[in-house]
Chain A
Amino acid sequence: MPERPKGRPAGSAGFTWRAFFHRTTTPVFVLGRGRRVRYANPAWEALTGAKLDDALGLVCSARQNASPLWAKALTPTPEALAGRPDKARRPTPPLKSGPPWWDVTFVPLAGDDGLYGLVGCITVVGERVPAAERNIPAGVTAARDRHAGHFTFDLLTGTTAAAERFLGQVRLAAQTSAPVWLVGEPGSGKETAARVIHHAGGRREKMFVAVDCGGLTPGPVESLVWGVGGLAGSDRVGTVYLKDPGTLTRDAQVQLLDWLTDESAPRLICGSTRTAGAEVEAGRLRPEFHSALSVLEVRVPPLRERSADLPRIVAHLLERNRGPTAADPAAVAVLAAQPWPGNLRELAAVLSDAATAAGVGPIHRDHLPHDLRVRAGLAKPAPEPSLKLDPALEALEKRLIRAALARARGNVTKAADLVGVNRNKLLRRMEALGLVGRGRQPPDSSTAQGADAPRPP
């Protein structure tokens, strides 16, 4: 009897696994009833680093101490052995934890008399993490992953033309790795858009780093990026978001160009209130920075162009703040009547204050600031501030005296020195201004180190 070729099941004349799987780029393997390897394709060989001839007949089991690590990683799940398709995530051998992971899909080949075998395929998930990154504890990594999960396209969705156009551009930006220049009014959500692009893009496993160029002086920026243990030395940075790069020094712009135009460099996204071209014209940005690093320009629409989306935006901001979960339609109508020069930032601040006023219940229009209700035609403007001199001077005097008493820790004599009058005159003024009860015996300044001295009311 001729010897049966390897990889061919018994009684399968003319059949080989090879015909089905050999050219596929997906790593595929076949296990027999006893979990022994019966076939594996070249993609599997490339992934595991094992040769088919050596692998044939080996048992895939986590209990076999002599088995190679890849065989343990391909151990069928109890569910699969029971005849039901299943999937398992295993650390990529020889690692003891991922990423990268092997997602192993098991498809059982069940017959009337039980399981004949299993077909498996492997999908690699995630990238190998450097040792330094593995030193980040699991709790911190989980917090990072949860945080990243909030920045989805859903945040930017809307029904207005401006929102739809914006979302389309953001989706396009997420599909490429080209540098992006986000231009929009203050508070319109440029950094949020940058995070959405990052977390929906191909570098989502790596980190998003926002550098507030305007809020940091050149020293801290350079130290953060190029200092000892700086970001330029980490291969875990996926996207660098520069907030207002025109405020960087020319030298820092050159250094950034050198770093970020390297092939292995992180992706760059910039955010500014002006276009890159306008920044170059104003002399704030080097022309080569513009040509190299602002390939895709995306305009972030101001809130006033998305007023039809306001109910949805309000609901999202309230949900984010974990306060009241709703604003009643009357309150939303007041919000919709505003021009919102401060955009989402201003809206979020108003909602935050209103949420505090509302407590646990929904936000009503009475919880909104008075000037918003005036603008919506629902309240009368407050009277003009008084310009009368006497009350103004009296209030000023009160504040000065209180400040002096606070600085002197309640010692009236010292406070009198600070405001440049004698002690008795200060006490008379305090009585006249209602800062101390009439007829109250003033404390002895020599002993009154604040214990029984008149306190600022």
Chain B
Amino acid sequence: MTRRPQLVILDPDGPLAALLAEPAGVHRWLVRRPRAADAALGYTRDARPTVLLVRIDPAADDAVTAGLIADVHRMLPDVAVVAVSDAKLADADRAAWTAVLMDLGCRYVLFPPVAPPALAELVTGLMTATVRRVTGKDPDPADGLIDLADEELHG
């Protein structure tokens, strides 16, 4: 049985979780909202399809978040990491940040404007691909709703 996919959002007090509440409900993803990088890494170690969203601030020398992205990519390469920033940068800076964050292991980098439907589409696509990669099959929205393979039946 496929364990429920999870969305880990490292965006303390930020709006990302609210923006993704609808697709998370529709697809029955677990939503984890750690407040620190260590806790986020702990959640991503959970053996279930995972997409990790992290808020980055280009103005801060945030080596901790950069280290988290690199650690997750190296230790858990099936976890799709998306970096999201509020910063409005010049095109060249934006391209440079996108390149360095993807080199660290991000699957996607978002700069403003971040449209909620586009964010939902992106995360849904990455989660679908992650489930397919981990389980070898497409996610079934009904899977787990009433699961006849539940351990309660056969345990």
Chains A and B belong together in one complex? yes
A214: nearest residue on chain B (CB-CB)?
B129
Is the CB–CB distance between B91 and A229 below 8 Å? yes
Which candidate, A21-29, A112-120, A202-210, A332-340, is the interface stretch facing chain B?
A: A202-210
Chain A 205-222 interface residues, beta-carbon cutoff 8 Å to B: 207-210, 212, 214-217, 219-220
Q: Which of A139, A321, A386 contacts B66 (CB 8 A)?
A: A139
Is the CB–CB distance between B80 and A212 below 8 Å? yes
Chain A 306-348 interface residues, beta-carbon cutoff 8 Å to B: 320-322, 342, 345, 348
Taking CB atoms, residues of chain B closer than 8 Å to A186 are 133, 136
Tell whether A11 is near chain B: CB-to-CB under 8 Å: no
Tell whether B146 is near chain A: CB-to-CB under 8 Å: yes
Is the CB–CB distance between A233 and B103 below 8 Å? no
Q: Which of A131, A356, A395 contacts B92 (CB 8 A)?
A: A131
A272 to B139, CA, bound (A): 21
Is the CB–CB distance between A385 and B80 below 8 Å? no
Taking CB atoms, residues of chain A closer than 8 Å to B103 are 144, 147-148, 207-209
> Known contacts A143-B66, A207-B100, A234-B98: does B125 contact A220 (CB below 8 Å)?
yes
Tell whether A19 is near chain B: CB-to-CB under 8 Å: no
Provide the main secondary structure of the chain A interface.
helix
Taking CB atoms, residues of chain A closer than 8 Å to B122 are 216-217, 220
Is the CB–CB distance between A234 and B92 below 8 Å? yes
Tell whether A230 is near chain B: CB-to-CB under 8 Å: yes
Q: Which of A345, A385, A391, A396 contacts B146 (CB 8 A)?
A: A396
Chain A 134-160 interface residues, beta-carbon cutoff 8 Å to B: 135-144, 146-148, 150
Q: Which of B111, B133, B134 contacts A229 (CB 8 A)?
A: B111
Is the CB–CB distance between A386 and B121 below 8 Å? no
Specify which of B75, B100, B136 lies most central, judged by the most chain A CB atoms within 10 Å of its CB: B100
> What's the nearest-Cβ distance from chain B to residue A206, in Å?
8
Tell whether B126 is near chain A: CB-to-CB under 8 Å: yes
Taking CB atoms, residues of chain B closer than 8 Å to A228 are 91, 94
A144 to B70, CA, bound (A): 8
> What's the nearest-Cβ distance from chain A to residue B85, in Å?
11
Tell whether A304 is near chain B: CB-to-CB under 8 Å: no
> What's the nearest-Cβ distance from chain B to residue A402, in Å?
11
> What's the nearest-Cβ distance from chain A to residue B19, in Å?
16
Chain B 113-155 interface residues, beta-carbon cutoff 8 Å to A: 118, 121-122, 125-126, 128-130, 132-134, 136, 146-150, 152-154
Tell whether B77 is near chain A: CB-to-CB under 8 Å: yes
Tell whether B26 is near chain A: CB-to-CB under 8 Å: no
> What's the nearest-Cβ distance from chain A to residue B103, in Å?
4
Q: Encode B87-110 as 1/0 by CB contact (under 8 A) with A.
A: 001111111111110111101110
Is the CB–CB distance between A136 and B100 below 8 Å? yes
Q: Encode A175-218 as 1/0 by CB contact (under 8 A) with B.
A: 00000000000110001100000000000000111101011110
**Interface size of A in residues (CB-CB distance below 8 Å):** 61
A253 to B117, CA, bound (A): 25
A342 to B49, CA, bound (A): 15
Taking CB atoms, residues of chain A closer than 8 Å to B134 are 345, 349
Tell whether B78 is near chain A: CB-to-CB under 8 Å: yes
Taking CB atoms, residues of chain A closer than 8 Å to B66 are 139-140, 143-144
Taking CB atoms, residues of chain B closer than 8 Å to A140 are 61-63, 66, 100, 104
Taking CB atoms, residues of chain A closer than 8 Å to B97 are 136
Q: Which of A132, A148, A349, A385 contacts B95 (CB 8 A)?
A: A132
Tell whether A400 is near chain B: CB-to-CB under 8 Å: yes
A398: nearest residue on chain B (CB-CB)?
B152
A320 to B73, CA, bound (A): 11
Q: Encode A280-295 as 1/0 by CB contact (under 8 A) with B.
A: 0000000000000000
> What's the nearest-Cβ distance from chain B to residue A358, in Å?
14
Is the CB–CB distance between B94 and A144 below 8 Å? no
> What's the nearest-Cβ distance from chain B to residue A455, in Å?
17
Q: Which of B45, B58, B152 contacts A395 (CB 8 A)?
A: B152
> Known contacts A130-B92, A140-B63: does B107 contact A212 (CB below 8 Å)?
yes
Q: 16 extra interchain contacts, Cβ-Cβ under 8 A, other than A130-B92, A236-B100?
A: A136-B100, A137-B61, A143-B67, A144-B100, A212-B80, A212-B107, A215-B125, A216-B108, A220-B108, A220-B122, A229-B89, A229-B111, A230-B98, A320-B75, A345-B134, A399-B146
List the 9 closest pairs (A to B, CB-CB), nearest first: A229-B94, A215-B129, A139-B63, A137-B61, A234-B95, A132-B92, A143-B66, A207-B99, A147-B70
Q: Which residues of A contact B (CB under 8 A)?
A: 130-133, 135-144, 146-148, 150, 186-187, 191-192, 207-210, 212, 214-217, 219-220, 224, 228-231, 233-234, 236-237, 320-322, 342, 345, 348-349, 352-353, 356, 385-386, 391-392, 395-396, 398-400
Q: Which residues of B contact A (CB under 8 A)?
A: 45, 47, 58, 60-63, 66-67, 69-70, 73-78, 80, 89-100, 102-105, 107-109, 111, 118, 121-122, 125-126, 128-130, 132-134, 136, 146-150, 152-154
